[in-house]
Structure formats: C-alpha cells, structure tokens
Amino acid sequence: MAWCRAAFCSAFLITLLTACASRPETGFLSPVAGPGSGATEHVLLVATTRKRDDRPGTLFGGERGSPLDFARISISVPQAHKAGEIEWASAAPGSAKTDFVVRQAAYLDGEKDFVRSLNAQLATRPRGSRKVLLFIHGYNTMFAESVYRFGQIVHDSKTLAVPVLFTWASRGALTQYVYDNNSATTARDDLERTIRLIFASDAEQVNILAHSMGNWVTVEALRQIKISGRLPDGGKLGSIFLAAPDIDIDVFKSQMRRFGKPRKPFYIVLSKDDQALRASSFIAGGGNRVGADGNTEELAALGAVVIDLTDVKALDSSNHGKFAQLAEIAPRLSAVLENGISGGADNANPAQTAVGDAVGAIVSLPITILGAPIKIITGR
C-alpha cells in the first residue's frame, strides 16, 4: 500500500539522518594555504553537469547546469589519514595538518582547456603508465563529498593514474531520490562526451569506477558509445568497476544484452546487506537492485565478475560505502583479477581456494578487510 511504502521510507530516512553528521554544503573547498606536515597532495580534474555555485568554497551546487563544465582541484590528505575514511574538518575550510582540504581550485575554460590539463598531467607519467581513473559518484552526494571521496580512493589505492571526477547534479539530500535519478539520466550524453574526450587524449588506458546511482549513467553512456560503434579497440578501455549499482536487475540485463559480452568483464562490487539499495528497491516497487542482488551467479553469466563484500564490516551504517574500503588493497586485488580467476579447484592459483558450482567459482582470496574475506564469483 502507498501509505506503508511512505511510512517505511520515512522511517528509513530518519534512521540514516540520525547517523549522519552535518553535511559539507558550503565553504569546505576554500583553498587552505597553511602548512600540513606530512600531508600528500593530489590533483583532480573535474567534468560536471552541476551549475556553478557562487558561495565561497563551494564551486558547484546541486542544480543542473549547461553546458558541460570543468575544473581543476588540488586536495591535501593529512598524514594521520586512516584508510577508507575522510578526515572532515569540524569547521570549514579546515586544517591541512588534520583534515582533507583544498590547496588550489579553478574553473577550466571548456573542453579544450580540460583536455590540455589532462594531457599535461599524463605527460608527468612515464610512457606505459599514462592511465586515467574516471570516477562517477552516486545518489545523495554533495560536490565537496564527491571530491573528497574520490581523493580518499586515489590516495588509499596509491594509483598513478590521472584522476578525473565526473559529477552530476545530485542535491545531496535523502529526500531527493527522484530528482537525483532524473539528473543522472539527464547526464548520460555529457558523460559519454567526457569519456570520448578522455579517449581522444594522450591516455593509454581509461579505467572507470562508478558508485550507486552513478552506475546507471555509466552503463548507459558506455552502451551509447558501443551502439555508435566508437568503442576503442585494444586496451584503451581498461577495467570497469560498478560498485553497489543502483540499477534494476532487469534493466541491467537489457543493457548488457545490447552492450554484448564485454572484451574485459565488468567488475560488480556488491553487498547483500546494502540497506540503501533495499530502500531503493522498495521505492521502485520491489525490483531487485544489481548491487544487492543475491543471484550472483546470474550476474556472472552476463559476463561480469562479482566481488562480494557481504562479509566485510562497513564503515557506514547503511553498508552502502564498502567499495571505498577496497582502495587500500587495490594493487593486490588488481593483480589477482589480472591473473584470472580459475573456474575450479584443480586449476586454482595456490594463493586461492576455489569451490566449484554449476555456474562458476566462489573464490576466497588471501586478502581481508577488517578480518573478512572477499568473495569473487565468475562465469566459466
């Protein structure tokens, strides 16, 4: 019944709201000039469908803007940083000694300036290592949150790739699910354009990480590129990680049928105890979401490799942000994925324990997060 659904959603939102600290709506992106002993800086390039926000230390807000806009932001991560966490300032703009802060921030003048800045960053990497990591955030995400979350992932993973953030117009409010969903849908063409710009740059490989509702716009953009026949050949398109995908399972099947079995598998990072996706499923009328789907073998049959984090203890109350904890072990996890996952115990890597089943293998890796094993499910 409609009133039951409304009551459930209201109770769920109240539960989450009581667990949330104050949100970094304004001021947290004001540049900080003071010294931060031992702090590490990272330069992020930004492509966005958000409208510019003139409030100091904000840059972009939650309303939709046009055309596609760009920025360059240098952030600082404190020496005492704990993996998986964001050390938020208690008051804006914060201190480089103890908090995530911005060192420099500037708008870029359109696509050509964005590509020039991207190529300049790529040129600082040796040939063979000129890679891009493109991140697309999820629902209920303010601009500052997307910047610092991506900064945390870049820092913890120790990636040498040039980080590019694509941020669509989320209002950063739990009650704005429908608005955010429409904003993500509206951003499909702009994300496609951003991916094409990166493909046309000096990047040797483009890897993609999307979270939550950001997976919807990501898979749609990739689907559009594939339909156009302009998906680059060879290894230009690297790994695609879909973390906690907020996509109806039947919609995802339709998308994958049109996309076709990818040359390299999509990696789906999910957790069956994801409370945010359970609420999303309820709002959507009961349809299973990919990021909380129990039928992992079915996803593997579509050509995906499933990374199941159900047994991992989350750092957030909704179990929706576990993907950020993967960054710390990203180099080891990537090595396992690149070496391939065996379909049975007889051919398993000695570092893996494989248990065969009718569709694929469930692999418990010798990698733990907070004491829990990661499971990987793959088709044969």
235-280 residue pLDDT tens: 799 999 999 899 988 888 888 887 777 777 789 888 888 878 877 7
Half-sphere exposure (Cβ direction) of 283: Cα atoms closer than 13 Å: 21
CATH of domain 23-343: 3.40.50.1820
Q: For residue range 38-77, list pLDDT tens digits in order.
A: 999 999 999 999 999 999 999 999 999 999 999 999 999 9
Mean pLDDT (the chain) is 83
- Strand ordering across the sheet containing 131-136: 101-108, 59-77, 40-53, 162-167, 131-136, 205-211, 237-243, 266-270, 304-308, 372-379, 360-369, 353-356
287: left (phi > 0), else alpha (psi -120 to 50), else beta?
beta
pLDDT tens, 336-358? Answer: 776 655 443 333 343 333 333 32
pLDDT in tens, 14-49: 444 433 446 898 999 999 987 778 999 999 999 999
Structure tokens at 378: 């793959």
Predicted TM-score (pTM) of this structure: 0.86
Contact 183, 168 (CB under 8 A): yes
Q: For the chain, which residues make up each domain, given as ranges?
A: 23-343
pLDDT in tens, 80-90: 999 999 999 99
